[in-house]
Structure 1
Amino acid sequence: MTTEVHAYQQATKCYAQLKQIQSAKGIGPNAKGWPQISQWQTISSTPDYWNDRWPKFSGTVWYKLTWQFHCEEKQNQPMMLSVSFINMAGQVYINDHFLWQNKSLEEPLSRNWNMPRRWMLPVGILKPGENTVYIRVEGVSELNPGIGFVHLGDYESVMAKHEHYWLEMRDLLTYTLCLEVALGLIAAFVWLFRRKESAFGYYALATLLWVLYIGMKLITEPLFALKTLDFARIQSLIFLVFVCFTCLYSWRFANFRAPCLERTLLWLAIVFLLLTLFMPAQYLDFLLKVSFVVAVGIYLLNCIVYPVVAYRSKQPEAYCLALVMFCVYLPLSLHDGLSIYLHEGNLLIVYASPFTAVILACIFALRLTRSMNGVERFNTRLALKVKQVRTELEDSLNHSHQLELKNAKLQERIQLAHDLHDGLGSSLVRSMASIEHTRENLNNHQFLSVLKHLRDDLRLVIDSGSSLNTSVPETPTLWVAPTRHRFNQLFDELGVIVCWEFPDHWQGAITPVDCIALQRVLEECLTNVLKHSYADRVDVSMRFHNQELIAFVQDNGVGFDTTAVKESGLSVGLRSMSTRLIKINATLEVESTPGCTRITVRKKL
């Protein structure tokens, strides 16, 4: 049975009719020579794949196509010969005249399996009657070797078929390649600037693999001197890994994570990687088929299950992707997978790829738009919240300011109370003690002297409220002199012996605030001795040791229970002294037993 192909050249009315197609293995030392007449086998049609006749055969096969050519008038226009593909490399003769051949007919072979070829046949090349076209094919059995459609006829009709094959095998793949590169770069940049969008990162990786896979289909010469089977190993592995990353990006697009399933895909890819790299050549055909079936099966299963995953995500862009995968990718992949496996029919995915790439771009744009809208809504809510918090903060600051004013006033009152207690109160106690121990009534001069002492102490209280104009006395002796003078009179009248021991010079940095605080503490200590101790000896001392000021007042009075006094909280004097010393970073130590009470002040310099 023969297949007839008619091509018409209306201007000259020439006809080329295919009468017979035959094939035979090459002969000779390298099994590449012309076959003998008895070796030719008739085949029914093209495309033809010789694995159907000679399984596991790799090498040279010749095809002999016999055409009947005649013209009603004298031929005045050239004819055209075209072949849709030659798998893998080839050589063409017409009427025993060499016409064309690939660059490499030895390993590594040139690659024509996805490359339509055409040749212009000048007037006179074809003779009236029988004409023979010989096509030598160098192929590898694992890659299903053979030839595609062969056409001989006028320029217009054959060129139209050639352009159809070129569109299907070259142009559509090139368009898809360009679109995928653009989308992959956009997705990669989105992922680089926003690492949380892992779906875009996986899509960029899947796109990279798909671009490599398409690029390997488009190239016509071997890369890096790779042999044909090595090239096929790499291409098969790329396709499987591409399917795995496609599953991952679609899952991440719906915010779906399945760690066990993802690890399974990873181990599957690793296993096939090892098998692909180290599988012996005699088992490679089986491995390539298994790898292809597994990859297509995973892809189809993902297309079937993904609508459920998208439904659970509650995201519009996931719904759109699920619709595309289930209604477009699933039927196309099923059809093309069967076509490749059975070597029948045309691939539809090449026609749909540019459109699906645009659809994916729209879905990604929807994803980015929703993310941006979410950011804008968040910014709006954040602005309102910031405004609300600012208002609340202003109210809180105003309230805090009022509380600080009240607290400042309260602190001033407490400070004034402490100053009056430690200063004017101490003077009143001294005056009262002096009057109590005076046997005669006070005359005007004595009474005026008491009042002057009270006035001086009141001035000191007023001046201590601001230390701006206060200076530190030159020596500790000068600093303690006024206090020593006032209390010596009282202690002398009471018969109390007072020992004063102070250094001749200051050591370290002493401020006016320190001097005032220490003076008030000293006056309070001595006043307490007058009021409560019933002592007959008092020691007042100051010294400097290891960068520390140490001052103490010790008496031999009746003493008191320090724990009970602290717990009762009734000792205004002790609280006042502690408060003053805390302000100048000093400490107060109180030790008291019957016969010895010692109050020590320590300040780091």
Structure 2
Amino acid sequence: MFAHAASAAGAAEACAPRIDTVRAVPAAPGAGPEAPPPIDGWQPVTLPDLWSERWPGFEGTVWYRIDWQRPCAGRDDEPQLGVAFDYLSMAGAISLNDNLLWRDASLVEPLSRSWNTPRVFFLPAAALNPGTNTLWVQVVGGSMYGSGLGRVVLGPADEAVAYHDERRLFARVLPAVNLVMSITLGCFFLVLWLMRRQETAYGWYALSAIAWLVFASNTVVSTLPWPFGSTDAWSRWITAWMVLYVSCFCMFMWHFGDQRFPRLSRVLWAVAALAVAAIALLAQPALSVATLAVFIVYSLLFMAVCVQFILRALDTKKTEHLLLALCAFGFLVAAVHDALMILRVIDDRFGYTVVTAPLIMIGMSLILAGGFTRSLRRVESFNDDLAREVRGARTELADTLSREHRLELDNVRLHERLSVAHDLHDGLGSSLVRSIALVEQSGEALRRPQYLSMFKSLRDDLRQIIDTHSGGAAPVAATPTQWLAPMRHRFGRLFEEMGMRSHWQTPAAWPCALSARQVLGLTRLLEEALANVVKHSRAHTLRVQLMADGEAGVLLSIEDDGVGFDAVAVGSSIGGLGLRSMQARMTRIGGTLQIDAGDGGTRLEARVRAPVAGAGSS
């Protein structure tokens, strides 16, 4: 079986076509695409052929003639023959002997773009000669665009198809995949940048991806260079987008590496503007020189920024920087190889960029997406921490409010106790003092009605205190005289028995409208003051006056000619509860109390302002 397979392989190899010569000749200047190939002037060439090395500056048509033999012509074991072409740059036509196999849509400006399109053809048996056969290849282009003829594989059809499929994968399929990925990732990161303008690296990456999309479309466009009317115009367009791509790529690498070079960035864009202007305005042959210079300069710039970022990543040692530096190293290797291949420094069938670009772009996108994801995680973590802090603050605030509420309740209770104590001291206490003094001053035993009157007075004072602290408010007396009448009646008899003259002066009407609370406060103050006169003053004369104090105030004056006292010393002593109670009471009702005491007597002046309309009183 193995012997049979070996013999079959040997027979197939023996029947393989054999290329004798490959020759080329430029067409006469001005010759159109329909002109026949020249008769003489043919020169031997080696494929792939770049005619700018042989005929610098030539623009027009070059004919290639490939003569080959059929060793097994007419035999039954001769396989189906095929021929595969790497490329024709820029446009062309292919004939077998005198039979046209294929022709581009346009062999005049604007030229069709077959420079990156592999082709394969089955050679029809009817078009083959028994001996020598000739493949005629007509190529139209210019030396500026690397015009010429690529490798040609002539042999069994399955070998030609296999070679073509391999070339098509690298020349057409992978670049198309690269473009689809570029537009997808570019749009994705553009949206991210629009949502988060502070992430400038995303914006520059999106712009570089879009610029790469336009620049790399040159590899997949195989029809007319629409919307441009010439190959030169298309070349200007593509070169300008190369400048923009490299410039945006530099900005992306700098921003991703947390670097800002304001002056260098301005220089970068100024040079980019000059380069684009030169490409747009120069004419041939200066355009060819400018295009080559731009290609070399921006290729070196691309490599330089890759090297710079690698050094930056090694310095920062951040994970995302190191990962992107790995991608930049891949870009660097591919860029160096392909630049040398385009400049014919090295001879290679395949460029590295078409293979590495999709993988590196995926890696760069994953790195950027990872950074975005980490940012989202930080935001989510911050939100969780913030929610936790808010819950803690709310709990602490609730505890504080609860504690303050308890303290406020305790303070209210204490205030009520003090208020009750003051009222008992000033009201019921003064009544008790008055009653005790009345009993002491009475020269004879009091009768039952007198005791009953004293007890009723004490009961009335106690009821007034209870009503005051239970929420009831006694109505304000209609006139100051009615207000003072009960107190004048209670203390008047006592003053007479003590031999003290008392004078009571009141206006016919209230000088201003006082609240019930203020009137009650003045009542308690007056009771305490009169009780102090009875207990301590040993006075002969007492004067009580109520008068207006300005336009909206009341002045209550209590004056005696007794022994007096030291107001400062008594107010700060343990026994000065009455004075402190009077001061506190006046403060609570919005008034003031002034005490003048000395050897000639004591004078108390209590001032109260009428409450402002609409202001509540607690």
TM-score tier, shorter chain, comes to 0.7 to 0.9
Q: Specify which of 567, 577, 588 is matched with residue 586 of structure 2.
A: 577
Unmatched segments (≥5 aa) in structure 1: 1-7, 507-513, 544-549, 559-563, 582-586
Q: 1:464 and 1:472, CA in 2 relative to 1: closer, same or farther beyond 3 A?
A: closer
Q: Aligned partners of 1:292 and 1:456: how far apart in 2?
A: 113
- Give the Å deviation of 1:429: 3.9
Q: Specify which of 170, 176, 185 is matched with residue 172 of structure 2.
A: 170
Q: Aligned partners of 2:79 and 2:125: how far apart in 1?
A: 6
- Give the Å deviation of 1:458: 3.1
- Give the Å deviation of 1:305: 2.2
2:204 and 2:248 in contact (8 A); partners too:
yes
Structure 1 range deviating more: 191-200 or 123-132: 191-200
Q: Aligned residue for 2:538?
A: none
Unmatched segments (≥5 aa) in structure 2: 1-9, 494-501, 534-540, 561-567, 597-602
Q: Specify which of 537, 547, 553 is matched with residue 539 of structure 1.
A: 547
State the SS of the aligned residue for 1:496: strand
Q: Aligned residue for 2:413?
A: 412
Q: Aligned residue for 2:244?
A: 241
1:557 and 1:597 in contact (8 A); partners too:
no
Using the size of structure 1 for normalisation, the TM-score is 0.77
Q: Aligned partners of 2:133 and 2:522: how far apart in 1?
A: 133
Structure 1 range deviating more: 130-139 or 112-121: 130-139
- Give the Å deviation of 1:322: 1.7
Matches within 5 A, 1:151-550: 151-184=153-186, 186-188=188-190, 191=193, 197-221=199-223, 222-225=225-228, 227-280=230-283, 282-326=285-329, 328-342=330-344, 344-345=347-348, 346-360=350-364, 363-364=367-368, 367=371, 386=389, 390=392, 398=399, 401-402=402-403, 404-422=405-423, 425-426=426-427, 428-429=429-430, 432=433, 440=442, 443-467=447-471, 470=472, 483-489=483-489, 494-502=502-510, 515-524=515-524, 526-527=526-527, 535-539=543-547, 550=552
1:63 and 1:134 in contact (8 A); partners too:
yes
Letter in 2 for 1:576: R
Q: Aligned partners of 1:361 and 1:541: how far apart in 2?
A: 86
State the SS of the aligned residue for 1:63: strand
Q: Aligned residue for 1:46?
A: 47
State the SS of the aligned residue for 1:156: helix
Q: Aligned residue for 2:92?
A: 90
State the SS of the aligned residue for 1:604: coil
Structure 1 range deviating more: 132-141 or 9-18: 9-18
Structure 1 range deviating more: 273-282 or 139-148: 273-282
1:138 pairs with 2:147: no
2:480 and 2:506 in contact (8 A); partners too:
no
Q: Aligned partners of 2:559 and 2:161: how far apart in 1?
A: 129
Q: Aligned residue for 2:114?
A: 112
Q: Aligned partners of 2:481 and 2:279: how far apart in 1?
A: 103
Q: Aligned residue for 2:610?
A: 601
Q: Aligned partners of 1:291 and 1:443: how far apart in 2?
A: 131
Summarize deviations over 1:338-385 as a string: whole Å, max 9, x none: 2122374341222223433444455456546655776787688778x6
- Give the Å deviation of 1:110: 1.9
- Give the Å deviation of 1:228: 2.3
1:110 and 1:220 in contact (8 A); partners too:
yes
Letter in 2 for 1:456: D
Q: Report how many aligned residue pairs link the two structures.
A: 565
Rg (Cα) greater in structure: 2
Letter in 2 for 1:538: L
State the SS of the aligned residue for 2:611: strand
Summarize deviations over 1:305-346 as a string: whole Å, max 9, x none: 2233223433223222223323x3222221111212237434
Summarize deviations over 1:441-464 as a string: whole Å, max 9, x none: 665534443443343333333333
1:34 and 1:62 in contact (8 A); partners too:
no
2:82 and 2:155 in contact (8 A); partners too:
yes
Q: Aligned partners of 2:35 and 2:193: how far apart in 1?
A: 57
1:203 and 1:246 in contact (8 A); partners too:
yes
Summarize deviations over 1:70-106 as a string: whole Å, max 9, x none: 3424166553333222222223334344333222333
Q: Aligned residue for 2:498?
A: none
Summarize deviations over 1:29-54 as a string: whole Å, max 9, x none: 7697446435x351522333333344
Letter in 2 for 1:153: G
Q: Aligned partners of 2:403 and 2:449: how far apart in 1?
A: 50
State the SS of the aligned residue for 2:167: helix
Q: Aligned partners of 1:226 and 1:554: how far apart in 2?
A: 110
Summarize deviations over 1:377-434 as a string: whole Å, max 9, x none: 7688778x659x84x9757855764564344323322333234425751454467568
Q: 1:538 and 1:471, CA in 2 relative to 1: closer, same or farther beyond 3 A?
A: closer
1:491 and 1:497 in contact (8 A); partners too:
no
1:149 pairs with 2:145: no
Q: Aligned partners of 2:232 and 2:474: how far apart in 1?
A: 99
Q: Aligned partners of 2:103 and 2:210: how far apart in 1?
A: 33
Percent sequence identity is 24
State the SS of the aligned residue for 2:322: helix
Structure 1 range deviating more: 206-215 or 476-485: 476-485
- Give the Å deviation of 1:170: 0.7
User: Superposition RMSD on alpha carbons, in Å?
Assistant: 4.5
2:243 and 2:298 in contact (8 A); partners too:
yes
Letter in 1 for 2:357: S
Q: Aligned partners of 1:117 and 1:480: how far apart in 2?
A: 123
Q: Aligned partners of 1:275 and 1:423: how far apart in 2?
A: 105
1:423 and 1:520 in contact (8 A); partners too:
no
State the SS of the aligned residue for 2:507: strand
Structure 1 range deviating more: 126-135 or 113-122: 126-135
Q: 1:453 and 1:436, CA in 2 relative to 1: closer, same or farther beyond 3 A?
A: same
- Give the Å deviation of 1:163: 1.8
- Give the Å deviation of 1:65: 0.9
Letter in 2 for 1:114: N
- Give the Å deviation of 1:572: 4.0
Structure 1 range deviating more: 29-38 or 268-277: 29-38
1:69 and 1:129 in contact (8 A); partners too:
yes
Q: Aligned partners of 1:500 and 1:108: how far apart in 2?
A: 118
